[in-house]
Amino acid sequence: MDVLVIGAGISGLAAASALQQHGLRVAVLESRRRVGGRIHTVPVGPHGPSVDLGAAWIHGIGSAQAPNPLFALASRAGLGAAPTDYADAATYTADGIRLPPSAVSEMEDIYNTFEQHLRSLLRSPDPRPALQPLSVALDRYAAGAGLSPAQHAALAFAASNHMEHYWAGDMQSMGVAALDEQVLPGGDVVLLGGYSGLVGALAAGLDVRLGHTVRHVRYGGGAGGAGAGAGGGVHDAAAGVSVTVHVAAQPPMPHGDSPGRHPASDSGAVGAGTDGGRLLTLHARAAVVTLPLGVLRAGGVGFSPPLGASDPAKAAAIGALGTAVYNKVIMCFDPADVFWDATAFIYRIPRPHEAGRWSFFLNLQKVTGAPVLIAFNQGAAAAALEALSDEAAVAGALEALAGVYGGSRVRRPRAALVTRWGSDPHSRMSYTYIPAGVTTAALDDMARPVAGRLFWAGEATHRAHYGTAHGAYDSGLRAAAALLQRLAAEAAVQQEQVARSLLQLLPPSPKQPQIHLQKQQSVGKRLGWVQQQALGLEQWLAASGGAAVGVLDGAGRALEAITAPAAGLAAAAAGAFAVPHINGGVVPAAASGIIGSGGPGDDGRFSGPAGNDTLQQRREHQEQEQTDEAHMPQRAVARSRM
Ligand SMILES: Cc1cc2nc3c(=O)[nH]c(=O)nc-3n(C[C@H](O)[C@H](O)[C@H](O)COP(=O)(O)OP(=O)(O)OC[C@H]3O[C@@H](n4cnc5c(N)ncnc54)[C@H](O)[C@@H]3O)c2cc1C
């Protein structure tokens, strides 16, 4: 296996898909019994309409030139989408008084000015204002701007609607730096058939292993990686990564969770091994870790070496970033029972002791035609909701609606679903927020690869679009690109070493090219994964004034061409040859170490000036030479891809 991707959420699927497209062998390890993670579309009740328990909106479809990648993916997959307009709303007090448009408009104006003020704080050279809690910033702003108590209260409600419902933390917990993100243009849409259509399209053709709960990740350091050389226990650093997985005893159900289990909880799949499952260790060259921040923080997945040793900043970010809880109470009614406004949204200004509870409802009937009302709760209110039974949670939502519409008008839903993302063992959160005292730089810490073996993706690793599905998707592509770049760099180093070995076999003068060509082919076969390209070699031998050694991969594809400088063999013989190094640099090498008359014997050993060293020993010598010669003057070198 080349790469193990941990987690089959949208970030893991994006990474796996990209890596597989580049020819790598990839397995995705997923603890749940379904793909999608925090994206999960299910019917509300038997034969009910499909609803999203997790992500529902594509936030900002982008422009024609730069579309939101998820919107582009949805379009390619033929998934329908419907826009939502947040201004298409009815706003009520908790006692059912509807605010006139002028009051709503005044409230929005106050909020917009406040938001501009916060953005100016982000641009301030003094970092401290960006670290304060949003609630403190709001109170200070209200005092400074001379807002009346009514205006202050209106601003608090609008800020809750805009900020708490978007980032899902409480104003007291979230910091001003939360605004340091990018918002894609084009307005928001919901996917008509649900978000799971997107992950289904991404997962097609991938090797996804459901019911595989990762318990431990051992990793070594590739050359030059952060943390390289840190103690990895029994794990061989050069081998890449070893992942210990608990495989659930029950056969995974690819299309979802078992009937009767609450769909948002998936609680049965992370067992302690008591369910008769088995432990398995898988090996790969590298891994992409997409574990949710909540799972990382809970510590259920171990890392060797510990992340705190390999990347202290990442370990600190895992502890510092916020794990927001956002929950939905999804109620499906008989079409004849629809009692609420025909607007897309219903906002309710909560009573002071309700702390933002039951303040935001989405009317799916306006958006998709389904007679469904979704109540959202965030932060502490959402966490508290998880302790309630489904019946009690629905009763709370209906009671709030009764305050708005009158008890006699409110009907009971025929089916309902209540999410509990905070206690879901596979996520332990809804999404990441930026707490007071923290900046979005922590998200970069989350994203940084570790030891050249562990690449990180997931919404908590995206500085510009954290907390979103498109940010998660994009982070998967970013991690895949970094991993590919790393493997390519390592391959280049290996190719360079092979090229050195090939060059060692060249004759002092190119009088007997065929003999040495055969020897070189022999080396190529012994190396297993590389063959020298005969044409390039013949050119090299024939020209002696500079030509190319080509290296092919096992499938015969050209990986690299290493071209000698114009002076070629003559220059090399004179002791000033250079071969390309990763990232366009060069590693100079003395002619005496490169040009020799030896070649591989039948036993695979080299003979010649360096004695009877094995190929491995010779490589080690060469590595030592590289180190010793690092300060030698460099000559021009050309590097080309064939
Ligand atoms: C209620 C709610 C509403 C949301 N609304 C929106 C929205 O409207 N728009 C939007 O853009 N975003 C929204 N989001 C956020 C969005 O859903 C996430 O940002 C995104 O889905 C995260 O994807 P991910 O791949 O980073 O993580 P995940 O989807 O969580 O994927 C991680 C995967 O790792 C698996 N895993 C966990 N532990 C292990 C283990 N030990 N071994 C193996 N696998 C493991 C998990 O099961 C999961 O499948 C919402 C989220 C929630 C919860």
Binding-site positions for FAD read: 11, 214
- Distances in Å between the Cα of 605 and the Cα atoms of 69, 426, 537, 591, 600 are 53, 52, 22, 21, 5
Residue nearest to atom 33 of ligand 1 (CA): 7
Residue at 16: amino acid letter = A
CA 446 to CA 297: how far, in whole Å? 12
CA 263 to CA 251: how far, in whole Å? 17
Find out whether the beta carbon of 479 lies less than 6 Å from any atom of ligand 1.
no
Question: For residue 564, what is the DSSP state?
Answer: -
CA 159 to CA 205: how far, in whole Å? 44
Please give the angle made by the CA atoms of 447, 453 and 456, to the nearest 5 degrees: 20
Residue 495 is predicted with a pLDDT of 61
For the CA of 190, the closest atom of ligand 1 is: 8
Residue nearest to atom 2 of ligand 1 (CA): 54
pTM above 0.90, yes or no: no
CA 498 to CA 488: how far, in whole Å? 15
For the CA of 460, the closest atom of ligand 1 is: 26
Residue nearest to atom 48 of ligand 1 (CA): 37
Tell me the pLDDT tens digit for each residue of 105-126: 999 999 999 999 999 999 999 9
Contact 454, 219 (CB under 8 A): yes
Q: Which residues make beta-bridge pairs with 39?
A: none
Of 17, 51, 418, 426, which is best to mutate to test ligand 1, by the most ligand atoms within 8 angstroms of its C-beta?
A: 426
Q: Which of the residues in the chain have pLDDT under 50?
A: 222-237, 254-274, 506-519, 522-642
Q: Where are the beta strands (DSSP E) in 262-418?
A: 278-284, 286-289, 302-304, 322-324, 326-332, 345-349, 360-363, 372-378, 415-418
Find out whether the beta carbon of 54 lies less than 6 Å from any atom of ligand 1.
yes
Residue 175 is inside which H or E element, if any?
none
Residue 153 is predicted with a pLDDT of 94
Whose CA is closest to 141, among 151, 442, 545?
Answer: 151
Of 431, 456, 461, 475, which is best to mutate to test ligand 1, by the most ligand atoms within 8 angstroms of its C-beta?
A: 431
Please give the angle made by the CA atoms of 554, 555 and 559, to the nearest 5 degrees: 75
Q: At 408, phi and psi to the nearest 5?
A: -70, -25
Q: Which two tokens stand for residue 254?
A: 């690819």
Residue 490 is predicted with a pLDDT of 82
Contact 331, 397 (CB under 8 A): yes
CA 433 to CA 315: how far, in whole Å? 17
Find out whether the beta carbon of 214 lies less than 6 Å from any atom of ligand 1.
yes
ipTM: 1.00
Of 32, 38, 301, which is best to mutate to test ligand 1, by the most ligand atoms within 8 angstroms of its C-beta?
A: 38
Q: Categorise residue 98: left if φ over 0, alpha if ψ from -120 to 50, beta otherwise.
A: beta
For the CA of 430, the closest atom of ligand 1 is: 53
For the CA of 270, the closest atom of ligand 1 is: 41
Tell me the pLDDT tens digit for each residue of 69-81: 999 999 999 999 9
CA 251 to CA 253: how far, in whole Å? 6
CA 221 to CA 232: how far, in whole Å? 9
Binding-site positions for substrate read: 376
Contact 216, 6 (CB under 8 A): no
CA 447 to CA 442: how far, in whole Å? 9
Find out whether the beta carbon of 284 lies less than 6 Å from any atom of ligand 1.
no
Find out whether the beta carbon of 184 lies less than 6 Å from any atom of ligand 1.
no
Q: Name the burial class of residue 150, with classes exposed (0-12), middle (13-18) and buried (19+) by CB atoms within 10 angstroms of its CB.
A: exposed
Cα(53) to ligand 1 centroid in Å equals 11
Q: How many CB atoms are located within 10 Å of the residue 536 CB?
A: 20
Q: Which two tokens stand for residue 349?
A: 């200004």
Find out whether the beta carbon of 378 lies less than 6 Å from any atom of ligand 1.
no
Q: Which two tokens stand for residue 617?
A: 């020993």
Cα(471) to ligand 1 centroid in Å equals 11
Tell me the pLDDT tens digit for each residue of 441-491: 999 999 999 999 999 999 999 999 999 999 999 999 999 999 998 988 887
Residue 498 is predicted with a pLDDT of 58
Cα(200) to ligand 1 centroid in Å equals 14
What residue spans of 250-378 are helical by DSSP H?
Answer: 293-298, 307-310, 312-320, 364-367
Whose CA is closest to 430, among 378, 496, 392?
Answer: 378
Find out whether the beta carbon of 433 lies less than 6 Å from any atom of ligand 1.
no
Residue tagged 């502490």 (tokens): 380
Kindly give, in sequence order, each residue whose CB lies less than 8 Å from that of residue 281, ignoring residues fewer than 6 positions away.
Answer: 242, 243, 244, 245
Find out whether the beta carbon of 264 lies less than 6 Å from any atom of ligand 1.
no
Binding-site positions read: 11, 214, 376
Tell me the pLDDT tens digit for each residue of 496-549: 665 555 555 544 444 444 444 444 554 444 333 233 333 334 333 333 333 334
Find out whether the beta carbon of 458 lies less than 6 Å from any atom of ligand 1.
yes
Find out whether the beta carbon of 472 lies less than 6 Å from any atom of ligand 1.
yes
CA 106 to CA 376: how far, in whole Å? 24
Contact 545, 527 (CB under 8 A): no
Residue at 467: amino acid letter = G
Find out whether the beta carbon of 363 lies less than 6 Å from any atom of ligand 1.
no
Question: For residue 579, what is the DSSP state?
Answer: E
Q: Which residues make beta-bridge pairs with 331?
A: 373, 416
